[in-house]
Amino acid sequence: MQIEWINLMPELIIFGIAIAVLLGEMYFSTNAKRFLGILSLLGIVAALFSLTSLYGVEATEFMGMFSIDLTATVLKGILLVTTALVVLATSRSRMTIGEGEFYSMMLFSVLGTMFMASANDLIMLFIALELTVLPAYILVGSKKTAGSAEAALKYFLLGLVASVILLYGMSLVYGLTGQTNFTAIANALAGQAIQPLLLVGMVMIVVGLGFKVAAVPFHFWAPDVYEGAPVPVASFLAVGPKAGGFAALIHFFPVALAVAAPIWAGLFAILAVLSMLLGNLAALAQTQVRRLLGYSAVAHTGYLLVGLAVADSFGYTSLIFYFLVYSLAALGSFLVILATTERGLGENVTDFAGLYKRAPMLALAMAIFLFSLVGIPPLAGFMGKVYLFSAAVQGDLIWLAVIGVLNSVVSFGYYVTVIRQMYFVNPPTNEGLPVSKPLYLSIVLIMAAVVFLGVYPSAFLSIINL
Amino acid sequence: MIPLSYYLILSGVLFAIGMAGVLLRRNAVAVLLSVEIMLNSANLNLVAFSRYIAPEQASGQMFALFVMAIGAAEVAVGLALILMIYRNLQSVNLDQFNIFKW
């Protein structure tokens, strides 16, 4: 077995940096630990550079367990860029645990997500998934308060049950085919009638992965975790593990279970509708801003699942584009919340009262991110939704597109309450809100990207051949 | 030789017992143990399938070994979290964790 190590370079770099940062936490002095964030950032940038050399490469490693293809490379790119922004933004934040612990856990989770994006084998997929979520459980519980502990325990127990259900489904698929490789599973299933046991296994896998992306009815952890976890962690969770879940969905179902495509596409359509409706309606009732964003994340899982319900390549590429757009806007809004919580604000929607007068740039950024989440032109969210819903229309799922558009209108209702507070309510004081420079830079970069992708989406779409 | 269906029925029963434990028990440690039973039912499936369906490759048994290692890691994280919540609330009863509405 010959391994082209160059194809694994991004993963190897992230792995090495994660270990180095963890060791740094043990051996560095308190002063030197401040540089662990910068070290992580440099590592991610190096991984990103080595990833660009893999653009257009199609290969498999480890006897077909690990596949390098365009979807995986692009998803890894999105993941690394967003993680780099999180690391940059939090590099001056007060941590609830040691810097080294925080960044190494984050990097291990990113490593798991990268393997998930490339997994081409049930064993690889399961291990990668666990590597993604185990550090996430630790990070969620890192605040050592009752709320943080409760969120972590709920996340952990529900996640564990979902993993086991996923594993049981995988064992059934393995039992029917005798194979663990996705392509080999597809070959073994080709030309056969769909057996009931395969359907059971498939539904169990949908349940397990549906939990990871927080689709209704497996979403219970999402609002709690976004509210209870420390804000830097919540901002990472909004992008990282979710990317892995969608990468696994895009890889597993179209490749391995191609024979049963109409059935799982129907399942995803149902999950999409439920997630959009329940996420948006529950978000309308929220007064805590992070919980509001938690339900909004559930609703956006619904929009993203539309791409899987379409079940063709246009659907998948629009899903990836919308994922980029969504993760930028969600990450940006969490970083604004991070900036305000560091000054003791940002728990409730009313805390944003008059933010326009106290920190005009933060208010502008938050408004842009929220408008992008609603899908107002000319921002990136609008273009993302245009592609996603036109994929639905082309795939003869006009009803799904209509539900999606109607839901976007409903979602305007809760996003606008935050914007109204920021711009039309008088602040309790006119005292300014100073923001640390790296966090400010990160927010500005995301804001620029959201506007740029809305005006000129083909910059990214040409990368994924749309 | 014992037919494959015996193993599958046993694993199905174990999975159901574990699921019942997860849904009915209110002690966090008991829930964790129930999940471990479910994990082992899936493992039993993997090993049985490996022996009966694809005996020439041992991929199912390999999978089971990895699952055991992951299960141990999960228990380590889970017990740490339960210990932390016990320090905060002096209880491991899931009904008392109600800062957030479900």
Averages of pLDDT over runs of 10 residues in chain A (466 residues) are: 84 95 88 86 94 88 88 92 93 80 94 93 94 93 84 91 95 92 92 88 94 88 89 88 89 90 93 94 90 93 93 91 94 92 80 86 93 91 93 92 93 91 85 86 94 90 80
Distances from the Cα of A174 to the Cαs of A186, A192, B50, B57, B61, in angstroms?
11, 15, 8, 12, 11
- The reported pLDDT for the residue numbered A2 is 79
Q: Flag whether the ipTM exceeds 0.90.
A: yes
Which residues on A lie below 8 Å from B81 (Cβ)?
A: 137, 141, 149, 152-153, 156
Angle at A264 between CA A180 and CA A215, to 5 degrees: 100
Average pLDDT over residues B46-59: 90
Domains and CATH numbers, chain B: 4-90 (1.10.287.3510)
Give the residue with greater pLDDT, A30 vs B52.
B52
Which residues on B lie below 8 Å from A223 (Cβ)?
A: 100
In this prediction, residue B102 has a pLDDT band, given cuts at 50, 70 and 90, of very low
Which residues on A lie below 8 Å from B22 (Cβ)?
A: 157, 161
The alpha-carbon gap from B34 to the nearest alpha carbon of chain A, in Å, equals 9
The alpha-carbon gap from A167 to the nearest alpha carbon of chain B, in Å, equals 6
Does the beta-carbon distance from B89 to A149 stay under 8 Å? yes
Could you tell me where the DSSP H helices lie in A229-353?
231-237, 240-256, 261-284, 289-310, 313-341
Residue of A nearest to B35 (CA): A161
Check residue A348 and report its DSSP letter: B
Which residues on A lie below 8 Å from B67 (Cβ)?
A: 126, 167
What residues of chain B have any CB closer than 8 angstroms to a CB in chain A? 8, 15, 18, 22, 28, 31-32, 35, 38-39, 41-42, 45-46, 48-49, 53-54, 57, 59-60, 62-63, 66-67, 70, 73-74, 77-78, 80-82, 84-85, 88-89, 94, 97, 99-100, 102
Closest CA to B81 of A433, A283, A153: A153
The three-state secondary structure class of A287 is: coil
Distances from the Cα of A103 to the Cαs of A92, A231, A249, A287, A463, in angstroms?
13, 14, 27, 31, 29
Q: Considering only the beta carbons, identify the residue of B35, B46, B80 that sits closest to A174.
A: B46
Angle at A190 between CA A189 and CA A193, to 5 degrees: 70
Q: Considering only the beta carbons, identify the residue of B42, B99, B102 that sits closest to A147.
A: B99
- The reported pLDDT for the residue numbered A346 is 66
The pairs formed by A363-368 with CB atoms below 8 angstroms and a separation of 24 or more are A363/A422, A363/A423, A364/A447, A365/A332, A365/A336, A365/A443, A365/A444, A365/A446, A365/A447, A366/A332, A366/A333, A366/A336, A366/A418, A366/A419, A366/A422, A367/A419, A367/A422, A367/A423, A368/A332, A368/A447, A368/A450, A368/A451
- Residue A419, token pair as written in the block: 């914007």
**Residue A396 main-chain phi, psi, to 5 deg:** 60, 35
Give the residue from A140, A153, A166, A197 with the most B CB atoms within 10 Å of its CB, the best one to mutate.
Answer: A153
The three-state secondary structure class of A288 is: strand
Q: At what angle do helices A437-455 and A360-374 cross, to 10 degrees?
A: 40
The alpha-carbon gap from A150 to the nearest alpha carbon of chain B, in Å, equals 6
Which residues on A lie below 8 Å from B99 (Cβ)?
A: 146-147, 150, 228
Q: Considering only the beta carbons, identify the residue of B8, B70, B94 that sits closest to A130.
A: B70
- Amino acid at the residue A163: S
Residue of B nearest to A153 (CA): B81
The alpha-carbon gap from A66 to the nearest alpha carbon of chain B, in Å, equals 15
Which residues on B lie below 8 Å from A228 (Cβ)?
A: 99-100
In this prediction, residue B40 has a pLDDT band, given cuts at 50, 70 and 90, of very high
The alpha-carbon gap from B1 to the nearest alpha carbon of chain A, in Å, equals 18
Does the beta-carbon distance from A160 to B70 stay under 8 Å? no
Q: Considering only the beta carbons, identify the residue of A127, A146, A157 that sits closest to B66.
A: A127
Which residues on A lie below 8 Å from B84 (Cβ)?
A: 141, 144, 149, 152
Distance CA A361, CA A383 (A): 24
- Is the CB of residue A278 less than 8 Å from the CB of residue A269? no
Kindly report, residue by residue over B71-100, the tens digit of the pLDDT: 999 999 999 999 988 888 888 888 777 665
The alpha-carbon gap from A278 to the nearest alpha carbon of chain B, in Å, equals 14
Distance CA A52, CA B94 (A): 47
Flag whether pLDDT at B41 surpasses 60.
Answer: yes
Distance CA A157, CA A155 (A): 6
- Amino acid at the residue A215: A
